[in-house]
DNA sequence: TATTGTTATACTCTATAACTATA
DNA sequence: TATAGTTATAGAGTATAACAATA
């Protein structure tokens, strides 16, 4: 039978581990933003796709999948949902009949602006301990570990 | 019917948004570490609980839940799994018969060391673009948004 | 009355494989 | 042969509510 053990040498408390902090910050972010977006009928992933459909209307589903690090089959489901709400359209690509270009509709752009307003507020609360310069530093460090 | 819209003003491309970067870095981290830990019969959340049970053997389940930002009911299931493997034990708290103190066993400490070895390697690869100083900066910034 | 742990349930997210139509 | 999209399925993660034992 195993006996309970006493404290071993503790060289990296979880609170000092960058990956633990990354996971915890991300969990806090997604639960906060999902709750914030719920009244608008959105969640983080469809919101991100809607933003891409608005900002980069010439992206196809595979490009969206790579950009958001999703499986292409997840993009199918998420675009289905956005399309059934009338917020995005699948447009044919005249250069390749296999691909769908995903573009925001007028209603989608409108909903996106509402979503950006409420998420901006939530993000301001989440980031209230950081200065604008801190946020820029954080973004630049994260960019170097987010696209490996 | 909704017409597809042209590019609107693009004031925050997703790639410059700190929360998008946070979510993407975290997704990359968890999929990488889960794949790395799979051969050891672990995933990120049980691994984190095992680490707490080793480093802080006097934590009860509610404290673990708060520390890892999990619901107490999730901790029940995760501790069940670790206990059935013989890696942690639930110990009675002499001061409060409601609570379980979660402590690592000898086998659990052994498994934890194996897990820390393989995850350290994976983390080194994920962070190879950052210096030690960058990582310290990143940890200190994340700490300020991870515990709100 | 409030808290700790537990059970139950529903939904979301992730990972994988197989298929079709096009290239 | 390879790629874009789709369908299907299983397992992991998250969120809530209700309950028993104990404080």
List CB-based contacts (under 7 A) with strand D. A 27, 30-31, 34-35, 60-63, 65, 72-73, 75-77, 79-80, 90, 96, 98-100; B 30, 34, 43-45, 70-71, 73-74, 96-98
Model confidence, pTM: 0.92
**Contacts by B66-74, CB closer than 8 A, 24 or more apart:** B67/A14, B68/A24, B69/A24, B69/A27, B69/A28, B70/B45, B74/B45
Please write the tens of the pLDDT for every residue from B47-97: 999 999 999 889 999 999 999 999 999 999 999 999 999 999 999 999 999
Q: Could A7 and B108 be called an inter-chain contact, meaning their C-beta atoms sit closer than 8 Å? A: no
Chain A nearest C-alpha distance from B71 (Å)? 12
**CA A86 to CA A80: how far, in whole Å?**
10
Q: Average pLDDT for residues B134-139, to the nearest whole number?
A: 98
Chain B residues close to A27, C-beta within 8 Å: 26, 69
Question: What's the confidence (pLDDT) of residue A93?
Answer: 96
Confidence at residue A13, expressed as pLDDT on a 0 to 100 scale: 80
Q: What is the pLDDT of residues A46-105, one digit of tens each?
A: 999 999 999 988 999 999 999 999 999 999 999 999 999 999 999 999 999 999 999 999
| A80 Cβ within 7 A of any nucleic strand C atom | no
A74 touches strand C (CB under 7 A): yes
HEC profile for B84-130?
HCCCEEEEEECCEEEEEEEEEEHHHHHHHHHHHHHHHHHHHHHCCCC
SS3 at position A90? strand
pLDDT digits (tens, 9 = 90+) for B111-122: 999 999 999 999
């Amino acid at each position: 039978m195993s006996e309970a053990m006493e404290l071993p040498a503790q060289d990296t408390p979880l609170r000092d581990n960058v990956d633990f902090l990354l996971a915890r910050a991300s969990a806090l972010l997604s639960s906060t933003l999902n709750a914030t977006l719920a009244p608008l009928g959105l969640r983080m992933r469809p919101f991100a796709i809607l933003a891409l459909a608005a900002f980069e209307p010439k992206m196809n589903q595979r490009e969206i999948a790579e950009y958001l690090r999703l499986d292409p089959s997840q993009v199918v489901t998420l675009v289905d949902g956005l399309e059934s709400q009338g917020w995005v359209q699948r447009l044919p690509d005249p250069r390749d009949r296999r691909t769908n270009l995903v573009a925001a509709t007028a209603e989608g752009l409108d909903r996106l602006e509402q979503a950006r307003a409420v998420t901006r507020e939530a993000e301001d609360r989440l980031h209230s301990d950081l200065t604008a310069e801190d946020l820029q530093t954080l973004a630049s460090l994260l960019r170097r570990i987010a696209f490996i």
